[in-house]
Amino acid sequence: MPIVPKVFMLVIGLGLSIHPIYLILSRRLLMGLISKYKHWVVVVGIASVFSVLQWSDQALAQDTGKLRTAVDETRQHELPSMLQLSLKESIMLALENNLDVKVDKLNKDVRLTDIVFELAKFDPTIEANVNHQQRAFPLNSTIDPITFQETEETPLSQVSGQNFGVELQKRLQTGTDIEVEIENERTDLLFFNQSPGGRLDPEYRSNVNFSIAQPLLRNFGIDINKTFINVAKNNMAIEEHIFEGELMELVEDVTSTYWDLVLSIELLKVEQESLRAAQSLLEHNRAQVKAGVLPSIEILVAEADVASREEDVLVMAQDIEDDEDELRRLLNLPNMPLIEKLTVIPVDLPRLTTDQISLQDAIETAFRKRPDIKERKRDLTNRGLEVNHAKNQLLPDLSLEGGMGLFGLGGDFKDDFAGLRNNDSFHYQAGLVLSVPLGNRSAKSTYNKRRIEAETALLTLKNLELDITVEVKKALREINTDLKRIKVAQLSTKLAQRKAMEEEQRYKAGLSTSHDVLMFQRDLAEAQGREIEAIIDFNKALVYAQHVLGTILEDADITMA
């Protein structure tokens, strides 16, 4: 390649990829070089563009990496890596943030709208109308209705009018229908484009009417007409009982998960202590083998046991993370997404005692306080209301109806309403209206359906009472059993500790083997684990009993809003 093209490529390449050096060259020289070496310009330009793009991608990648690092550092700075929680704090956080609780609150609001919907059936209704009409039609006569003389033209009648009316309707909770109507009408009448004599023109007519209808058999009485309002109110109460039950279940879930986490942490401590004991024995065996006191097989036995206990530690560490995630799911901590690592440290200690309660008192408490039995009783009340309403619909429809009205007439609006005040023109009426559906199969089938539903609700309540009795007995048995388990497990742990210590002394004296020492160490770890499990099971049995008796919210100092 000639020298000039090489120099030219270098200049152009530097100019495009690093800095516009070519601007310092004279314009004539630059244009001449470009004209002479066109193909080199193209090649160098393409190469320079690729160079610039590559440099830009590298810079962008570096900036993106820095940005991600900054975001990660910020998130790590904002989110705590450790969170200490008491049981009370855990319950309060769950009640505040749990999504199931928020859904149940919305369901309560839906039931409130049902009450408003039923009350709205007794809202007054107002209706207004305004209209204009005009008619022109020939009369079937050749006699002029004004002059009473025969005419060659066909008489033409023209009528125009305006009407305005207001009507107010209202149904009372006694079943009474009330209606008030006010109407005003203006009429203009022309014959042959002339106003007829002997009458008002224009003519104003007004009337005020009041009517009332009271059912005497079907739909009679406040209780019947408020049936579905009371049903809606009971449904609202049922939804509150359901909400209370959901809160109780959430509190039990949070409490049980909290104690599960405590159990996993304590079991991890036991496994770690067991691992340290096995490692200590391994180091001792290595020293003894090196000194020629023990055979090399003792090292292999100890190493195998250390590996097994390391596996146990890993499994327990996983259980802790699982329990942490479950607790965090229930709490739904704000600004702490589950995807982030967070160590939850429970600070409360489990209980070891409880107050005694008799079986009869426990069952009576459960029947009185459990929300599910309150819910079933409310539902049974609803079924009774619907049966009474359906039974009322079997009756004939007999209504007492009455009404009265006043009329006014004048040549203008003022005279028209003056006639209303004089009470000279009026009307009234009163009577009975009877309607009897032949067969009445629709009402009969509805009544039978409601009666069966009421019987079903009663049986459901009785069955729930049996279930509650069984659950209460089971809960009290679990508490008593776990208390006994704790005492037995504590004794077992003490004996296992003594056995392990004595076996270690025998081993040091050359009267035992590594296998025997490791076996007794495992027995001790298992005894300690059973003791911890018994204590945690006892605390979980306590919260289960509180749930079964319906006192769990009260015991946690939680009041229904």
Q: Which of 206, 277, 292, 219 is nearest to 519 (CA)?
A: 277
Q: What are phi and psi of 346, to 5 degrees?
A: -75, 135
Q: What is the pLDDT of residue 419?
A: 67
Q: How far is CA 422 from the centre of its chain?
A: 64
Q: Evaluate whether 513 touches 443 at the Cβ level (below 8 Å).
A: no
Q: Evaluate whether 231 touches 385 at the Cβ level (below 8 Å).
A: yes
Provide the sign of the torsion angle of the four alpha carbons 259, 264, 269, 270, taken in this order: positive
Domain-wise residue ranges, the chain: 3-78, 124-171+176-218+397-435, 228-388+445-555
Which pLDDT tens digit goes with each residue over 329-372? 999 888 778 888 889 999 999 988 888 889 999 999 999 999 99
Q: What is the pLDDT of residue 71?
A: 36
Question: CA 536, CA 486: separation in Å to the nearest integer?
Answer: 10
Q: What is the pLDDT of residue 403?
A: 94
Q: What is the pLDDT of residue 134?
A: 81
Question: CA 248, CA 558: separation in Å to the nearest integer?
Answer: 10
Q: What is the pLDDT of residue 62?
A: 53
DSSP code, position 136: E
Q: What is the pLDDT of residue 79?
A: 53
- Written as six digits, the tokens of 147 are 């002059």
Question: CA 309, CA 275: separation in Å to the nearest integer?
Answer: 5
Which pLDDT tens digit goes with each residue over 485-534? 999 999 999 999 999 999 989 988 888 888 899 899 999 999 999 999 99
Question: CA 407, CA 497: separation in Å to the nearest integer?
Answer: 108
Specify the pairing of strand 156-171 against strand 177-191.
Answer: antiparallel
Provide the sign of the torsion angle of the four alpha carbons 454, 455, 456, 462, taken in this order: positive
Q: What is the pLDDT of residue 17?
A: 42
How many C-beta neighbours within 10 Å does residue 101 have?
A: 16
Question: CA 45, CA 16: separation in Å to the nearest integer?
Answer: 8
Question: CA 119, CA 123: separation in Å to the nearest integer?
Answer: 7
What are 133's strand-pairing partners?
A: 161
Q: What is the pLDDT of residue 16?
A: 40
In sequence order, what are the residues at sequence separation of 6 or more whose Cβ sits closer than 8 angstroms to the Cβ of residue 174? Answer: 214, 220, 221, 222, 225
Q: What is the pLDDT of residue 202?
A: 78
CATH number of 228-388+445-555: 1.20.1600.10
- Could you write out the DSSP letters of every residue in 542-559? HHHHHHHHT-HHHHTT--
- Residue type, position 504, single letter: E
Q: What is the pLDDT of residue 448?
A: 97
Q: What is the pLDDT of residue 341?
A: 86
Q: What is the pLDDT of residue 85?
A: 94
DSSP code, position 395: S
- Written as six digits, the tokens of 72 are 């990660």
Secondary structure of residue 212 in the 3-state scheme: strand
Specify the pairing of strand 177-191 against strand 82-85.
Answer: unpaired
* Segments of the chain with pLDDT less than 70: 1-80, 137, 139-157, 190-201, 413, 416, 418-419, 423, 561
How many C-beta neighbours within 10 Å does residue 150 have?
A: 9
Q: Which of 277, 278, 285 is nearest to 304 (CA)?
A: 278
In sequence order, what are the residues at sequence separation of 6 or more whose Cβ sits closer than 8 angstroms to the Cβ of residue 471? Answer: 366, 548
